[in-house]
Amino acid sequence: MTAWAHASTYQQGELVVGQVEPGAQVWLNGQPLQVSNAGLYAFGLGRNAKANAVITTRSAGVDTQQSLNVQQRSYPQQKINGLPAKKVTPDPKAGLRIGADNQKIGVVRRSQSQAEWLNSSWIMPVQGRISGVYGSRRILNGVPKSPHNGVDIAAAAGTPIVAPITGQVALVHKDMFYTGKTLMLDHGLGVTSVYAHMQSINVQLGQLVQQGEVLGTVGQTGRATGPHLHWGVTWQRTHVDPLLLVD
């Protein structure tokens, strides 16, 4: 479930949500955080987050500091073979397409929308076998690649995918190079989520979706060896572990 900023110990990959008095200011390691009208704020501890962090809160002119201990994690290695060569080592033309895809995703992740939706628990977007975990070091067709930035959930093609928490549809793409049919939700305060390799998308850009509402269905579009959902959660540009958000 969501980690709340009243503890002193967290772990790499955690999304932390805190609450202060409305109008208060909050900093993480000296960097200002967005605070909602109701006093909510959020931040992500990435895959390689340092062992210590400091939250500073200023309310009514008084500063309070809280030291955080961040437990370090070890990550497995995952080898995936049988992928089309062009999906592992793309040619220059595909590289331009990937760059355009990443630009669209980056726009969504820079969002700083005001919302109070993070003040609730998350649920799984689909039930299935966990076939890929956050942070794993990936070797694709024998080629070392970047660590996995989300979780893969294997399920039958056509299985419904639901919103794990309330959010606004911020991106709908019918065919991204790596992720195929791709959907992104904006949950406010810099927190976004992504749903990849979908077979179908049932929502529209700008639509407000409630927790549990069907977003679309599991597929095998883009770079995938079988039907599954890639689910990722990000605070700004920091990827966090979706499985730490659910009970």
Range of lowest pLDDT (122-136, 139-153, 174-188, 205-219): 139-153
- In the chain the domains, ranked by start, together with CATH numbers, are 3-71 (2.60.40.1590), 77-244 (2.70.70.10)
Residues 101-137 pLDDT 10s: 999 999 999 999 999 999 999 999 999 999 999 999 8
Q: Measure the CA–CA gap between 149 and 194, rounded to whole angstroms.
A: 11
For residues 139-160, give the mean pLDDT: 90
For residues 131-147, give the mean pLDDT: 86
DSSP 83-100: --HHHHS--HHHHHHHHH
H runs (alpha helix) in the chain: 85-88, 92-109
Give me the pLDDT at residue 86, please.
74
Q: Measure the CA–CA gap between 135 and 76, rounded to whole angstroms.
A: 8
Q: Measure the CA–CA gap between 113 and 36, rounded to whole angstroms.
A: 9
pLDDT greater at residue 223 or residue 50: 50
pLDDT above 70: residue 243:
yes
